[in-house]
């Protein structure tokens, strides 16, 4: 019964979404307020219905209802509760339902927090989001129904992929989807502006917080995914340039360009068309990512060709969304206008250059991701484009963008002077260069790449310090606290996010420069020195688990003969699937991780014999994720800025005054 309620709720949600998109659009075109007023309640009702559908699916998973095909294929009665719940979005069908849930959630948020928008504009925004909902719910209902029954019911489920039985996987997909789908709000704002033909600084002020929040969630989502890959895939890498990762990274790069371009549009009224284009591209890439991950093209282009229903649907949907919005853009962009002019040396220029570099870098990732698929689809041979390609292309493109991060925030809008910038920044530059040249010697080994990476990170940090100092010096307040309080949260958000980039770069540079990786054969009692530590293997013991059997190894770590910790790497065999999983033991530290994972037994006697053991030292690796979290927190801090709410209140006041006047007439 519960699955049928969910299925029915989803069908109702689809009907509501159709009304939510059609009625307000007609109303906006005719200038009919009553029709436009349908948008808000429809958006909220749709959210409610999708929540019901999602709750029904979750209940089927939690209640082990193996008569539902999706549950039977992706869960198991031995699975702990939290993973049964997370299994709701562990499958193809469930993750699409999560997508739809996130989309209707964002829509509902827009209906609640954007009451101050002009009714015509709000009606169009909600209608556009409704259109996307229609597409997605049709996709779920027609090709990937999560509520499909299994006749006869299975006695036991096939189990959730053990790789996904992990706390990181419980929160990674919702965070990532929040980000992906959040760009739909920026997209809807852009389309509504194109439809209305009006785009000004106020528009940018409205769409900025939404875009930044979506970007912050996407940042966290990607960081969680990267962390998950680091500790569950057992090979100690944090980014593989895998198509699935690239699929989430491309919207991130475009979103990063978008939040910067929105800043210019808000403050200076410039970059208007470009901002709209970026909003369209960011969401299109989110859809492309969904297509890549969900259609099966990555597993095999040919499997996709033999069972094309899903892929063809998303591809068609993608073509309609991208084609339609670009056509609208081409038709209307002239009306929106380019916006103000600015000097060659100015903050606008720095931000434009940063945008170009980010987009070109995104395009290089796109090429490396799609090229092998095209070749394969056309039967021109099988190739793989691995990390060396991305490393060779990506770093040289982004390094200048990062360098500009030091200059941009200090450059004046409209027209800045290079000599002044140089005078203000020469100390920051000098300190960064000298420290970057000397630091690698104290860390162990000097190499040009390490020095370059450190320089970029230090440059961001020192130029941020100069920026803050100048701000405080020019403040009219007295007292440090008052001076600090005089700056807006969005300013501190920017500084924090930029420092996050610096922290991230330090992590990447040092882990790439100084990591030690060693695969060794270890007999029980044998020890091996790795990078100043001594790792002693004390053998393995069997250990129980809720739905798996494990062998747990014991490895003592010593430094200068003193025991500093004991690590317990695990090898698990899951009961339902028989699949083996390696659980690394990681001693986390701010200066780096010590990482031990078990390979396979090398002797016939599993428990008493030698094992292959992988030992890694990963200096500063946690800074990578720390940096990403700083970026996200910076984004959220920026959104908390009062000016977004003041804009709202002012608008409310004028609306209230307007309606009072109307009532008095």
Partner 1 sequence: MKPRTRRLGWIVGGLAVLGVAAALVLNAFQSNLVFFFTPSQVAAHEAPQGRPFRIGGLVEAGSLAREPNSLTVRFRVTDTAQTIGVTYTGMLPDLFKEGKGVVAQGTLDPDGTFHASEVLAKHDENYMPPAAADAVKQAQAHEAMVTKTLVKPSGGGQ
Q: How far is the CB of 395 from partner 1 (least distance, A)?
A: 10
DSSP character for 68?
B
- Residue 217 has a CB neighbour count (10 Å cut-off) of 23
The span from the CA of 91 to the CA of 113, in Å, is: 32
Q: What's the chain's Rg over C-alpha atoms?
A: 27
Compute how many other C-beta atoms are within 10 angstroms of the C-beta atom of residue 478.
Answer: 8
Least Cβ distance, residue 512 to partner 1 (angstroms) = 17
Q: CB 94 → partner 1: shortest distance, Å?
A: 17
- Shortest distance (Å) from residue 276 CB to partner 1: 18
**Shortest separation between residue 617's beta carbon and partner 1, angstroms:** 17
Count of alpha carbons within 13 Å of 455, Cβ hemisphere only? Answer: 17
Distance CA 92, CA 290 (A): 11
Task: Tell me whether residue 109 or residue 360 sits nearer to partner 1 (CB atom).
Answer: 360
Pairing of strands 548-559, 570-574: antiparallel
19 versus 86: smaller Cβ distance to partner 1? 86
Identity of the residue, 417 or 654, whose beta carbon is nearer to partner 1 in the bound complex: 417
Q: Which is nearer to partner 1, 388 or 544 (CB)?
A: 388
Query: What's the min distance (Å) between Cβ of 364 and partner 1?
Result: 6
Specify whether the CB–CB gap between 75 and 87 falls below 8 A: yes
- Identity of the residue, 156 or 519, whose beta carbon is nearer to partner 1 in the bound complex: 519
**Which spans of this chain sit near partner 1 (rule: CB under 8 A)?**
161, 163, 234, 242, 299-300, 302-303, 341, 343-344, 352-353, 356-357, 360-361, 363-364, 367, 381-386, 388-389, 392-393, 396-397, 519-521, 577-582, 599-600, 602, 612, 614
The CB-of-510 to partner 1 minimum distance in angstroms stands at 24
Residues 6+ apart with CB under 8 A from 545: 572
Distance CA 426, CA 439 (A): 20
Asked if residue 76 lies in contact with residue 159, where contact means CB atoms within 8 angstroms, the answer is yes
Alpha carbons 471 and 477: distance in angstroms, whole number: 11
Q: Which two tokens stand for residue 110?
A: 């827009």
**3-state secondary structure string across 640-660:** CCHHHHHHHHHHHHHHHHHHH
Rounded to a whole number of angstroms, the minimum distance from the CB of residue 86 to partner 1 is: 17
Nearer to partner 1, 94 or 234 (CB): 234
Query: Helix 39-62 vs helix 2-30: angle between axes, to the nearest 10 degrees?
Result: 160
Residue 477 tokens read as: 């307040």
Closest of 347, 366, 469 to residue 411, by C-alpha: 347
Q: Which two tokens stand for residue 94?
A: 């469930």
Cβ neighbours, 10 Å, residue 635: 27
379 or 478: whose CB is closer to partner 1?
A: 379
Work out how close the CB of 221 gets to partner 1 at its nearest, in angstroms, rounded to a whole number: 21
Q: At 618, give phi and psi (nearest 5°).
A: -120, 85
Using the minimum distance from each CB to partner 1, give the nearer residue, 112 or 341: 341
The pairing of strands 585-587 and 593-601 is antiparallel
Which residue's CB is nearer to partner 1, number 198 or number 521?
521
Pairing of strands 562-567, 548-559: antiparallel
Task: Give min distance, CB of 441 to partner 1, in A.
Answer: 30
Nearer to partner 1, 575 or 582 (CB): 582
């Amino acid at each position: 019964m519960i699955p049928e309620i969910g299925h029915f709720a989803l069908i109702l949600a689809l009907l509501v979404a159709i009304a939510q998109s059609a009625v307000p659009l007609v109303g906006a075109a005719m200038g009919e307020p009553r029709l436009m007023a349908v948008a808000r309640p429809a958006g909220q009702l749709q959210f409610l219905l999708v929540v019901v559908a999602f709750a029904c699916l979750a209940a089927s998973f939690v209640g082990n209802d193996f008569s539902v095909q999706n549950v039977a294929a992706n869960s198991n009665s031995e699975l702990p509760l939290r993973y049964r719940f997370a299994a709701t979005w562990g499958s193809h069908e469930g993750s699409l339902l999560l997508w739809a849930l996130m989309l209707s959630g964002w829509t509902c948020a827009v209906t609640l927090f954007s009451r101050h928008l002009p009714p015509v504009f709000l009606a169009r925004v909600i209608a556009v989001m409704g259109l996307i909902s229609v597409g997605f719910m049709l996709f779920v209902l027609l090709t990937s129904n999560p509520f499909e029954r299994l006749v006869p019911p299975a006695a036991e489920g096939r189990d959730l992929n053990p790789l996904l039985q992990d706390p990181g996987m419980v929160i990674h997909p919702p965070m990532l989807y929040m980000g992906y789908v959040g760009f739909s709000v920026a997209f809807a704002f852009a389309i509504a502006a194109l439809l209305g033909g009006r785009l000004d600084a106020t528009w940018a002020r409205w769409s900025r917080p939404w875009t930044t929040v979506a970007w912050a969630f996407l940042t966290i989502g990607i960081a969680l995914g990267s962390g998950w890959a680091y500790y569950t895939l057992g090979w100690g890498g944090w980014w593989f340039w895998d198509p699935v990762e690239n699929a989430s990274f491309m919207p991130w790069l475009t979103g990063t360009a978008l939040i910067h371009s929105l800043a210019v549009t808000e403050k200076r009224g410039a970059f208007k068309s470009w901002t709209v284009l970026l909003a369209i591209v960011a969401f299109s890439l989110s859809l492309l990512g969904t297509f890549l991950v969900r259609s099966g093209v990555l597993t095999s282009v040919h499997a996709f060709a033999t069972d094309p229903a899903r892929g063809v649907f998303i591809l068609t949907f993608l073509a309609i969304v991208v084609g339609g919005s670009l056509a609208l853009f081409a038709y209307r962009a002239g009306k929106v206008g380019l916006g103000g002019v600015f000097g060659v040396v100015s903050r606008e220029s720095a931000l434009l250059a940063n945008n170009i570099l980010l987009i070109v870098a995104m395009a290089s990732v796109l090429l490396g991701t799609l090229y092998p698929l095209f070749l394969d689809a056309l039967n021109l041979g099988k190739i793989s484009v691995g990390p060396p390609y991305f490393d060779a292309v990506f770093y040289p493109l982004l390094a200048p963008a990062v360098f500009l991060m030091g200059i941009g925030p200090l450059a004046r809008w409209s027209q800045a002077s290079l000599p002044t910038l140089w005078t203000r920044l020469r100390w920051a530059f000098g300190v960064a260069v000298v420290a970057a040249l000397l630091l690698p010697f104290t860390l162990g080994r000097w190499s040009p790449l390490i020095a370059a990476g450190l320089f970029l990170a230090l440059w961001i940090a020192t130029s941020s310090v100069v920026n803050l100092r100048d701000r405080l010096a020019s403040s009219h307040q007295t007292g440090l606290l008052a001076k600090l309080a005089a700056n807006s949260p969005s300013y501190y958000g920017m500084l924090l996010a930029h420092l996050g980039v610096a922290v991230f770069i330090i992590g990447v540079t040092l882990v790439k420069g100084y990591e030690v990786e060693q695969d060794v054969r270890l007999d029980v009692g044998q020890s091996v020195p790795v990078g100043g530590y001594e790792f002693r293997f004390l053998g393995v013991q069997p250990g129980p688990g809720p739905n798996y059997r494990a062998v747990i190894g014991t490895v003592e770590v010593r430094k200068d003969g003193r025991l500093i910790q004991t690590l317990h790497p695990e090898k698990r065999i899951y009961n339902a699937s028989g699949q083996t999983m390696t659980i690394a033991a990681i001693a986390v530290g701010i200066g780096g991780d010590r990482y031990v994972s078990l390979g396979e037994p090398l002797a016939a006697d599993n428990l008493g014999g030698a094992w292959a053991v992988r030992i890694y030292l990963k200096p500063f690796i946690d800074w990578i994720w720390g940096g990403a979290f700083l970026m996200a927190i910076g984004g959220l801090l920026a959104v908390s800025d009062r000016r977004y709410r003041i804009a709202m209140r002012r608008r409310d006041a004028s609306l209230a005054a307007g309606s009072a006047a109307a009532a008095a007439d």
